[in-house]
Amino acid sequence: SNYTPAADGNLQEVESVAVTGNTAAVTVNLSNQSEAFTVLLSGLGDSVTTGSGDDTITGGLGADSISAGAGNDAVFGGSGSDTLIGGAGSDSLDGGTGNDSLEGGEGGDTIRGGEGDNTLTGGGGDDLFWVDVGTATVTDLGYGGADRLVVRAGAVANATLSAAFTARTDGDWSGNEGVANLFTNGFAVNLAAAAADAQKPTPGWKVTNTGAATTLTGSDVSDTLTGGAGADVIDGGAGVDTAVYVAGATIALNPSTSKWEVTGGEDSTTDVVENVEVIKIGNVSNLVGSLAVVQSTVSALQAAGSLPADFNAIIIDAAGAPLAASALSALGGKTTGVVTVSNAVRLLR
């Protein structure tokens, strides 16, 4: 049967609650208690709400619903597709197996989705999102504090920003060994301090701005940065970085700033691009004309001294196959350089 003790604020000499012997899901309500409880649920998809103590709650085999209340709680979902809510305090949430939904609430929480396709929400405070295995959707990266995101090898994180996100420099780092996709609606992203493992190759971050003008700063590894509908500032940082644009963009080297300026694509604004080794013109369904035509056109521009010619690359994405249209450098000793993709080759969307 369900269990709700009297609202005395303190359930004397009771520290553990175990749900056993039940034939249906059970609801345990400890929200009016201030003691710290250890709660063990059954395998039938139970529900539990705890109070203001520092509780430890372990779910069972079913799809449990756990709300930890105030206090610094430790919550483990176990098997099943669970819903875990930390509430106030600095909580530790682990979804276990299954497709779980985890919400830290107020306070600096550690949120680990576990196996399965999980949804992670930090809430206020300096939250740490761990993506060890499977795929995780992070709904509010950067919200309410200095959040961190760690993605392990083989895992995928799709994180949407709710505020500006800057990788911390105090030793509490963000890092990516798997696939890390960051989506920002005009909020600034700065990954300059994101950790890289010197002992093995580290994948880059993929950052996409879907909103107004902002600043995107890459990490020390090879990142992919996509600007939005506005005059973005894109700084790749170290590594062999890629800036992505749609067909029709104009790429120019500003001699006064020694930075690339990219105009067009989805809008008529001009992005400032630096420390980017590859500029990719994508979202193209068909490429009209052979690669040789593209290369000869760009080579003619280089021969005329209007394009630098020794390091970077412009890539035109033809039916999903990247084609290196030319070898370009960020500066190359030139004073100017302009290439309009629609002039170099006719592209069909």
Q: Contact at 8 Å (CB) between 84 and 103?
A: yes
Could you give the number of structural domains in the chain? 1
DSSP letter (8 states) at residue 285: S
More confident residue, 282 or 326: 282
Q: In whole angstroms, what is the distance from residue 312 CA to residue 330 CA? A: 6
| Over residues 258-281, mean pLDDT | 75
Residue 296 lies in a domain: yes
Q: Of 24-33, 99-108, 334-343, which gets the smallest average pLDDT? A: 334-343
Q: Is the pLDDT of residue 138 over 60?
A: yes
Q: Please indicate, yes or no, if residue 193 is contained in any of the structural domains.
A: no
> Chain-wide mean pLDDT for the chain?
79
pLDDT at 202: 73
Domain that holds residue 348: 240-349
Judged against a pLDDT cut of 70, whether residue 110 lies above it is answered with yes
Which of 25-34, 187-196, 279-288 is predicted with the least confidence, judged by mean pLDDT? 279-288
pLDDT band with cut points at 50, 70 and 90 for residue 329: very low
In this prediction, residue 186 carries a pLDDT of 97
Residue 157: pLDDT above 90? yes
C-alpha closest to that of 36 among 70, 4, 87? 70
Residue-level pLDDT at 12: 61
Answer whether residue 269 is part of any domain.
Answer: yes
82 within a domain of the structure (yes/no):
no
Are the beta carbons of 199 and 225 closer than 8 angstroms? no
335 domain-assigned? yes
Residue 150: pLDDT band (50, 70, 90) is very high
Does the pLDDT value for residue 289 go beyond 70? no
Q: Decide if pLDDT at 345 tops 70.
A: no
Residue 266's pLDDT is what?
A: 61
65, β-bridge pairs:
47, 83
Residue 86 has pLDDT above 90, yes or no: yes
Residue 247 lies in a domain: yes
Cβ atoms within 10 Å, residue 21: 7
pLDDT value of residue 212: 93
Residue 290, pLDDT above cutoff 70: no
pLDDT, greater one: 173 or 204: 204
Q: Span 113-120, mean pLDDT?
A: 96
Determine the pLDDT at residue 53: 94
pLDDT of 336 > 50? The answer is: no
Supply 230's token pair: 């506005």
Percent of the chain beyond pLDDT 70? 70
Residue 313 inside a domain? The answer is yes
The residue assigned the tokens 């020390």 is: 220
Q: Indicate whether 346 pLDDT > 80.
A: no
Residue 121 reports pLDDT greater than 80:
yes
- Backbone phi, psi, residue 21, to 5°: 75, 5
Instruction: Of 47-51, 204-208, 217-221, 306-310, give the lowest mean pLDDT range.
Output: 306-310
Span 9-51, pLDDT tens digits: 556 667 899 999 899 999 999 999 989 999 999 999 999 999 9
Check: CB of residue 138 under 8 Å from CB of residue 157: yes
- Distance between CA atoms of 331 and 319, rounded to whole angstroms? 30
pLDDT at 282: 53
Is 69 part of any domain?
no
